[in-house]
């Protein structure tokens, strides 16, 4: 097993390195679907150039990353002397992917005792769990979305990394709330939306404590510690930058959506065409929309916090203001974790087709609009809308499958009425 | 009573007005007319109390200057582009569109607020769109625009009190000429002003209105300052056949001089008649003046309007070419610039400026560029090169832009090598605007203002410029300075931005909301309802459901 995982990783690294030798990276670096104004490598370079000439990168509107990321990239560029920077990024990513997967399947079911009889067909067996790391690694290293962000040198690689580390912390270091919240704070610090992961984390600690205290007693320390870490990080930024203007350039930029460059999300064209006096209202609605799902899911999925966390990662990556293939790559790489629910999914085929069609057509229609001038903005908008719809179908279908399987686990796979007739399971 | 009268008569005596016209036949066959009206008033701008008894100085402008604590004001409104390579240098350089730069007095408290009030006042005054010079198109240049007039030490070190703004899209026409000519003491009734017939003026290849107010030395000791108001009108005509006359070009004769002027003269540059005469002027000039300025020698035919129009005579200068004019190239101007857009598509783009130095010596220049916020300038892509080798600039002042707030502003000080071309290039990214931010003809494109090149020339070849201490052209004939300040405006640029579909805001809002609603609906459904077994026996028809509804209530 370990051999095939290592083989997979090596294959992935070779594949990326080979692609780096082509013209593909240059092409991908400018693709709106792959990089956003926040994660574009070009803008990071601009930030560095400004810093070099003693201009604060936040005085302008080109650079939106947080300061330490900038310093970190400085450091990485130093390492470039030793080894090729790109290889470094690739290795870093794959190593973390692997170590993440070594530890994932630890606890998927805690309350096996409550399950119904004759559910062997849907139970997760240790055989499945053993093959899981290989599948996830394989999916990750050959996932075109992951490859594309790696080739484009998007800084989303780094934000994905911090989420990876956070997941490992969450699952591996079972009892360390301090570190878990620190990693949420780090991810929030970089891309804002992960603050909502506090909910699944609290839910998780509630779960592993075997429901010993009221759930609220888990929410308070989770949020408290998270806020403490987050404030600390902002304080560090302030001490580096010497002013609070970076807040507007980073979080203000994420929340206010001033940059309307096309991306794969729903924000850009909506706010391009928005009537001015409704703008603030709809920005509030859309931003709330990206996190509001945590409340019903927290209630419904309180027994499966890891799945809840995955759902939140997925939903925020659809509804964030500047989504890119980086976020989608992360979600799709983690999707095989829920392989055991796939048999319950209803429209996997349709979703797969939508993904493929959108991914292929997006750059074509963008070219027709921007370069050829033979299409207009609506063509590209249609594609991004379809892509968002595909993601929504996938995430809701996965939720359905998960809940449906759970129903079967508790009620058995034979759906029989009292009179012995076989019937259907429906939502009521 | 007597003292009051005396005081007033003194107040009238302390201002003077000079009107001049410089005519320069260009080798390209065009004729360049530069009207220069200079009013000098022995009052100081920093003593607003003295702005009470107006003589020749226009009161409407004086009020604006004192209300907004203006130290220097420079406004130009131009239609058309000055071709440096064909026409040499103009007397005062101006970019296409409108340009305004103002130095405020240091006593000012809130400079940005005062600037926005000032541009609104000037906008009303000159019937132009200067009120669009908001923070999105205003910069504070550090080196390119130093005070032109007398200024205390405090101004030299920093640029806090200057504001510069340009409107490259501004169209200049009759409605701008009318308020401008109303500031002249004689309006257009008598004197040179009577030649301003809008229908003829706006038929020109190039047309530029200028208005410059600055403090100058009252006398050679320079212990006190006076205000100098300089109004200029430059026009370049193509007379089609090379013969031209005032009547043919402006549609009228000169019949009188403005009685309020101390001097009223016309200068015709007849240097091209040396050594062999190629055109003859009629009537004959009152005097011929040979001017040696630095290494440049020019000859002018001087006409005094007062003498020419004495006894009610009408005065018309006409130039007749004995043989067909041979169109020639001018002596290459010492420094010239060219700027253009590079790249294709609506996503990225670049700007390249070529700066030519035709002199045999190195020259230090300041290059200033202001880009609107929607063309996002990439500082890392800025390169200066000279014949393939990179040029290290001496100094760079770069202020990055802010979306919908501030333009990108760049000033570079660098050296132009002798007889070479220096290339400045950089990349920008085109922003996607909101649909309400596009002008009505969105696909026409957006203008980028001229880049500005400032330098001090060691030679005055082909360059007729008034000396630093006075804008009166005649003074330039006695100027013995050895260096000449030059400001050069390059072409404005037109960039297209990607446009959304303006016709379907409702559709977009509906479609995007639908997609969000799919997510919301599905998740709401899955989280608020439970799975149960479907029991067909419990299934009720619609009728039964309605009945049940009534029963409960």
| B4 assigned to some structural domain | no
Contact (CB, 8 A) for B443 and B500: no
Query: Are B108 and B121 members of one domain?
Result: yes
| Angstrom distance (rounded) from CA A412 to CA B446 | 67
Mean pLDDT over residues B68-72, rounded? 90
| Angstrom distance (rounded) from CA B466 to CA A416 | 103
Beta bridge partners of A362: none
A contacts of B383 (beta carbons < 8 Å): none
- Count of positions (residues) in chain B: 553
Mean pLDDT over residues B489-503, rounded? 92
Closest partner CB to B380 (pick from A49, A270, A370): A49
pLDDT at B11 over 80: no
Query: What is the reported pLDDT for B1?
Result: 39
Beta bridge partners of B384: B424
Size of interface A-B (CB pairs under 8 A): 171
Q: How many CA atoms lie within 13 A of B189 on its CB side?
A: 9
pLDDT at B23 over 90: yes
**Residue B372 belongs to a domain with what CATH number?**
2.60.40.1170
Measured CA distances, A271 to A283, B429, B486, B502 (Å): 8, 20, 46, 13
pLDDT at B195 over 70: yes
Which of B458, B487, B496, B493 lies closest to B353, judged by CA?
A: B493
Q: How many angstroms separate the CA of residue A136 from the nearest CA in chain B?
A: 26
Beta bridge partners of A425: B533
| Angstrom distance (rounded) from CA B490 to CA B48 | 37
| Angstrom distance (rounded) from CA A416 to CA A427 | 16
Mean pLDDT over residues B190-207, rounded? 89
| B155 assigned to some structural domain | yes
Contacts of residue B217, defined as CB under 8 A and 6 or more positions apart, other chains included, come to B150, B225, B226, B469
DSSP, residue by residue, A27-55: HHHT-TTT--TTT-HHHHHHHHHHHHTT-
Which residue on chain A is closest to B379 by alpha carbon?
A: A46
Mean pLDDT over residues B252-260, rounded? 87
Condensed to tens digits (0 to 9), the pLDDT of residues B406-444 reads 999 999 999 999 999 999 999 999 999 999 999 888 889
Query: Are B313 and B355 members of one domain?
Result: no
| Angstrom distance (rounded) from CA A189 to CA A186 | 5
DSSP reduced 3-state for A382: helix
Instruction: Quote the strand ranges of B181-295, DSSP E.
Output: 206-217, 225-237, 244-245, 263-269, 279-282, 287-293
DSSP, residue by residue, B152-206: -HHHHH--TTEEEEEETT----HHHHHHHHHTSTTTTTSGGGGG--HHHHTTSSE
| B502 assigned to some structural domain | no
A contacts of B432 (beta carbons < 8 Å): 259-262, 268, 272
Contact (CB, 8 A) for A285 and B512: no
CB contact under 8 A, B519 and A315: yes
Query: What is the reported pLDDT for B117?
Result: 94
A contacts of B443 (beta carbons < 8 Å): none
Range of the domain at B419: 335-466
Question: Residue A305 — φ and ψ, nearest 5°?
Answer: -65, -30
Query: What is the reported pLDDT for A106?
Result: 44
> What torsion, rounded to 10 degrees, do the Cα atoms A355, A356, A359, A362 define?
-100
Beta bridge partners of B493: B448
Measured CA distances, B88 to A188, B27, B28, B30, B367 (Å): 60, 10, 11, 12, 20
Q: Where are the domains of chain A?
A: 2-411
CB contact under 8 A, A428 and B512: no
| Angstrom distance (rounded) from CA B386 to CA B363 | 13
CB contact under 8 A, B498 and A260: no
Q: To the nearest whole number, what is the mean pLDDT of chain B? A: 87
Neighbours of A17 (CB within 10 A): 13
Condensed to tens digits (0 to 9), the pLDDT of residues B94-126 reads 999 999 999 998 888 899 999 999 999 999 999
The H or E element spanning position B220 is: none
Q: Is B347 in CB contact (< 8 Å) with chain A?
A: yes
Contact (CB, 8 A) for A323 and A265: yes
pLDDT at B33 over 80: yes
CB contact under 8 A, A269 and B398: no
Query: Are B326 and B339 members of one domain?
Result: no
Query: Are B409 and B282 members of one domain?
Result: no
Query: What is the reported pLDDT for A280?
Result: 94
Contacts of residues A284-287 at CB distance under 8 Å and 24 or more positions apart, as own/partner, are: A286/A319, A286/A321, A286/B516, A287/A255, A287/A321
| Angstrom distance (rounded) from CA A288 to CA B176 | 51
B contacts of A30 (beta carbons < 8 Å): 347-348
Q: How many angstroms separate the CA of residue B425 from the nearest CA in chain A?
A: 16
Query: What is the reported pLDDT for A99?
Result: 46
pLDDT band (50, 70, 90) for residue B82: very high
Q: How many angstroms separate the CA of residue A106 from the nearest CA in chain B?
A: 26
Q: How many helices (H) and strands (E) does chain A have?
A: 20, 1
The last residue of one of the domains, among B466, B501, B518, is B466
B contacts of A286 (beta carbons < 8 Å): 516
Entry pTM: 0.87
- Residues of chain A numbered 33-92 and touching chain B (CB < 8 Å): 42, 45-46, 48-50, 53, 55, 59-62
Query: Are B296 and B380 members of one domain?
Result: no
pLDDT band (50, 70, 90) for residue B26: confident
> From the first residue on, what is the mean pLDDT of each consecutive set of 10 residues in chain A (428 residues)?
75 80 85 85 82 76 66 53 43 50 45 61 66 77 84 76 66 66 83 88 79 77 90 87 82 90 92 92 94 92 85 93 88 84 91 95 94 91 95 95 88 79 81
Query: Are B292 and B407 members of one domain?
Result: no
Q: How many angstroms separate the CA of residue B422 from the nearest CA in chain A?
A: 22
Cis peptide before B275 (omega within 30 of 0): yes
Query: Are B172 and B259 members of one domain?
Result: yes
| B119 assigned to some structural domain | yes
Angle at B343 between CA B339 and CA B344, to 5 degrees: 130
Query: Are B318 and B381 members of one domain?
Result: no
CB contact under 8 A, B498 and A370: yes
| Angstrom distance (rounded) from CA A70 to CA A50 | 11
The last residue of one of the domains, among B413, B436, B466, is B466
| B236 assigned to some structural domain | yes
Contact (CB, 8 A) for B493 and B516: no
Core vs surface per residue B275-289: b (16+ CB within 10 A) or e: eeebbebeeebbeee
Mean pLDDT over residues B450-466, rounded? 85
Query: What is the reported pLDDT for A186?
Result: 82
Q: Provide the CA B154 distance to its chain's centre, in angstroms.
A: 26
Cis peptide before A36 (omega within 30 of 0): no
| B417 assigned to some structural domain | yes
Query: Which residue's structure tokens are 């620190």?
Result: A182
Query: Are B238 and B360 members of one domain?
Result: no
Query: Are B326 and B341 members of one domain?
Result: no
Query: Which residue's structure tokens are 């107006």?
Result: B54
Q: Is A245 in CB contact (< 8 Å) with chain B?
A: no
Query: What is the reported pLDDT for A125?
Result: 65
Query: Are B344 and B310 members of one domain?
Result: no
Q: Is B407 in CB contact (< 8 Å) with chain A?
A: no
Task: Indicate the number of domains in chain B.
Answer: 2
The last residue of one of the domains, among B407, B434, B466, is B466
| The pairing of beta strand B348-357 with beta strand B335-342 | antiparallel
Contacts of residue A282, defined as CB under 8 A and 6 or more positions apart, other chains included, come to A270, A271, A274
DSSP state of A372: I
Which of B445, B401, B403 lies closest to A260, judged by CA?
A: B403
């Amino acid at each position: 097993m370990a051999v095939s995982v290592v083989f997979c990783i090596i294959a992935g690294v070779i594949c990326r390195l080979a692609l780096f030798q082509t013209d593909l990276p240059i092409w991908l670096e400018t693709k709106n679907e792959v990089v956003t104004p926040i994660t574009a490598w070009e803008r990071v370079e601009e930030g560095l150039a400004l810093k070099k000439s003693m201009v604060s990168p936040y005085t302008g509107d080109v650079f939106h990353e947080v300061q330490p990321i900038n310093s970190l990239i400085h450091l990485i560029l130093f390492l470039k002397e030793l080894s090729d920077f790109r290889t470094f990024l690739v290795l870093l990513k794959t190593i973390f992917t692997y170590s993440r997967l070594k530890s994932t399947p630890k606890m998927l079911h805690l309350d096996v005792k409550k399950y119904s009889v004759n559910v062997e067909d849907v139970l997760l067996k240790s055989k499945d769990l053993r093959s899981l790391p290989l599948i996830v690694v394989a999916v990750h290293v050959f996932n075109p979305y992951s490859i594309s962000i790696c080739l484009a040198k998007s800084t989303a690689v780094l934000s994905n990394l911090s989420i990876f580390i956070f997941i490992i912390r969450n699952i591996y270091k079972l009892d360390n709330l301090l570190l878990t919240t620190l990693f949420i704070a780090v991810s929030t610090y970089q891309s804002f939306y992960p603050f909502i992961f506090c909910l699944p984390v609290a839910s998780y600690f509630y779960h592993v404590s075997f429901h010993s205290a009221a759930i609220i007693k888990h929410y308070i320390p989770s949020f408290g510690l998270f806020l403490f870490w987050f404030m600390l990080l902002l304080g560090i930024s302030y001490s580096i930058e010497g002013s609070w203007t970076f807040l507007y350039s980073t979080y203000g930029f994420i929340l206010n959506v001033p940059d309307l460059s096309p991306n794969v999300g729903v924000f850009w064209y909506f706010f391009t065409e928005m009537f001015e006096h409704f703008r603030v209202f709809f920005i509030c609605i859309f931003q709330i929309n990206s996190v509001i799902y945590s409340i019903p899911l927290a209630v419904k999925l309180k027994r499966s916090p890891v799945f809840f966390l995955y759902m939140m990662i997925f939903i925020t990556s659809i509804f964030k203001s500047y989504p890119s293939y980086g976020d989608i790559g992360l979600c799709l790489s983690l999707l095989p974790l829920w392989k055991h629910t796939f048999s319950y999914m209803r429209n996997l085929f349709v979703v797969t087709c939508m993904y493929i069609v959108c991914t292929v057509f997006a750059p074509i229609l963008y070219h027709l609009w921007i370069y050829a001038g033979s299409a207009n903005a609506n063509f590209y908008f249609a594609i991004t809308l379809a892509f968002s719809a595909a993601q929504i179908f996938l995430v809701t279908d996965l939720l359905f499958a998960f809940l449906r399987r759970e129903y079967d686990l508790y009620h058995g796979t034979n759906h029989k009425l009292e009179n012995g007739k076989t019937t259907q399971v429906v939502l009521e | 009573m007597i003292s009051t009268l005396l005081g007033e008569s003194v107040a009238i005596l302390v201002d003077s007005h000079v009107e001049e016209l410089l005519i320069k036949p260009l080798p390209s066959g065009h004729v360049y007319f530069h009207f220069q009206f200079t009013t000098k008033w022995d009052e100081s701008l920093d003593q607003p109390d003295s702005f009470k008894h107006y003589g020749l100085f226009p009161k409407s402008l004086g009020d604006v200057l004192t209300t907004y604590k203006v130290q220097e004001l420079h406004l130009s409104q131009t239609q058309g582009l000055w071709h440096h390579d064909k026409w040499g240098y103009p007397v005062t350089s101006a970019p296409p569109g409108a340009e305004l730069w103002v130095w405020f007095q240091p006593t000012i408290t809130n400079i940005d607020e005062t600037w926005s009030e000032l541009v609104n006042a000037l906008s009303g005054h000159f019937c132009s769109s200067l009120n669009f010079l908001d923070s999105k198109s205003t910069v504070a240049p550090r080196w390119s625009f130093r005070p032109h007039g007398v200024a205390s030490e405090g101004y030299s070190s920093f640029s806090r009190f200057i504001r510069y703004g340009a409107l490259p899209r501004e169209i200049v026409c009759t409605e701008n000429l009318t308020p401008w000519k109303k500031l002249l003491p004689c309006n257009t009734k008598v004197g040179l002003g009577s030649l301003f017939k809008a229908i003829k003026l706006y038929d020109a290849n190039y047309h530029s209105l200028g208005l410059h107010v600055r403090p100058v030395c009252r006398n050679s000791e320079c212990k006190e300052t006076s205000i100098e108001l300089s109004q200029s009108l430059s026009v370049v005509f193509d007379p089609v056949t090379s013969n031209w006359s005032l009547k043919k070009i402006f549609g009228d004769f000169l019949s009188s001089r403005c009685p309020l002027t101390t001097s009223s003269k016309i200068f015709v540059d007849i240097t091209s008649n040396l050594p062999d005469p190629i055109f003859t002027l009629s009537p004959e000039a009152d005097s011929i003046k040979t001017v040696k300025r630095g290494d440049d020698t020019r000859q002018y035919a001087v006409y005094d309007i007062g003498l020419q129009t004495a006894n009610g005579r009408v005065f018309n200068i006409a130039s007749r070419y004995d043989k067909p004019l041979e169109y020639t190239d001018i002596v290459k101007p010492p420094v010239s610039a060219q700027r253009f857009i590079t790249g294709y598509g609506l996503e990225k783009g670049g700007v390249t400026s070529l700066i030519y130095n035709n002199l045999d010596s190195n020259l230090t220049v300041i290059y200033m560029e202001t880009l609107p916020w929607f063309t996002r300038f990439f500082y890392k892509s800025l390169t200066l090169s000279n014949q393939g080798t990179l040029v290290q600039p001496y100094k760079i002042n770069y202020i990055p832009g802010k979306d919908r707030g501030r333009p990108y502003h760049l000033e570079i000080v660098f050296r132009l090598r002798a007889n070479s071309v220096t290339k400045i290039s950089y990349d920008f990214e085109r922003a996607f605007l909101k649909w309400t931010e596009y002008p009505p003809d969105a696909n026409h494109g957006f203008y980028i203002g001229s880049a500005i090149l400032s330098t001090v020339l060691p030679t005055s070849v082909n360059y007729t410029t008034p000396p630093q201490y006075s804008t009166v052209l005649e003074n330039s004939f006695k100027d013995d300075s050895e260096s000449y300040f030059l400001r050069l405006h390059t072409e404005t640029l037109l960039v297209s931005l990607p446009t959304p579909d303006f016709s379907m805001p409702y559709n977009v809002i509906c479609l995007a909301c639908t997609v969000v609603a799919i997510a919301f609906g599905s998740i709401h459904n899955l989280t608020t309802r439970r799975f149960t077994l479907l029991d067909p026996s419990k299934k009720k028809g619609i009728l039964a459901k309605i009945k049940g509804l009534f029963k409960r209530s």
